[in-house]
Amino acid sequence: MNARQVGYQCLNFAMIVSSALMIWKGLMVVTGCESPIVVVLTGSMEPAFQRGDILILTMDINDPIRVGDITVFKIDGKDIPIVHRVIKVHEKNGTRFLTKGDNNPTDDRGLYAPGQYWLTLTDVVGRAKGFVPYVGMVTILMNDNPKFKYIVLGLLGLFVLVHRD
């Protein structure tokens, strides 16, 4: 392989990486949400969402939070997003709501910060509007087995650089 081919392969690689980044950022703009695609990690919303399903989120602050919405929220101090359904709403100047996972016997107050009994819009990352089954299992496998992740990424990088088409 001469220098030109090497350069071409590197450009190819850069194109793939930057296209992926463009799609991701584009999705962030379209949905208005900083994390538009999340993988379901727990079984707390079964049988609707199983571990490994993908949720597409939107964040529209002009569409108020209402009972039944599936919200993805983060508790102050913890950075794991939780995907649960809103079961109570009381709205004054702002909206206060309570969530519960479909498969959980009790509401989420045990998960909130100490002294916090309600969630507000600032805790919400987005609302689930779209659903794709199973595809997120790859992410879960890679998170549970970091060696697998490095092997897959390494092989992918190798193939893109070496492939001669």
Q: Is 110 in the site for other proteins (CB under 8 A)?
A: no
Q: Binding to other proteins by residue 94, rule CB under 8 A? A: no
How would you classify the pairing of strands 82-91 and 70-73? antiparallel
Among 53, 69, 107, 108, the one annotated catalytic: 108
3-state secondary structure at position 129: strand
Q: Which two tokens stand for residue 36?
A: 């538009």
Q: Is 138 helix (H, G, I), strand (E, B) or coil?
A: helix
CA distances from 133 to 57, 95, 104, 144 (A): 15, 31, 21, 19
Q: Which of 27, 28, 75, 87 binds other proteins (CB under 8 A)?
A: 87
Region for residue 52 given its phi and psi (left: phi exceeds 0; alpha: psi -120 to 50; beta: otherwise): left
Does position 12 bind other proteins by CB under 8 A?
no
Please choose, out of 22-30, 62-70, 76-84, 145-153, the segment that lies near other proteins by the rule CB under 8 A: 62-70
Is position 69 annotated as part of the catalytic site?
no
Number of amino acids touching other proteins (CB under 8 A): 26
Binding residue (CB under 8 A) for other proteins from 92, 110, 114, 146: 92
Concerning whether 108 is annotated as a catalytic residue, the answer is yes
With binding defined as CB under 8 A, does residue 47 bind other proteins? Answer: yes
- Cα distance between residue 157 and residue 149, in whole Å: 12
Catalytic residue among 18, 76, 79, 84: 84
Query: Is residue 32 within the footprint of other proteins (CB under 8 A)?
Result: no
Residue 66 as a binder of other proteins (CB under 8 A): the answer is yes
Q: Could you tell me if residue 36 is left (phi over 0), alpha (psi between -120 and 50 degrees) or otherwise beta?
A: alpha
Active site residues: 44, 84, 108
Binding site for other proteins (CB under 8 A): 47-49, 66-70, 85, 87-92, 96, 102, 109, 117-118, 128-133
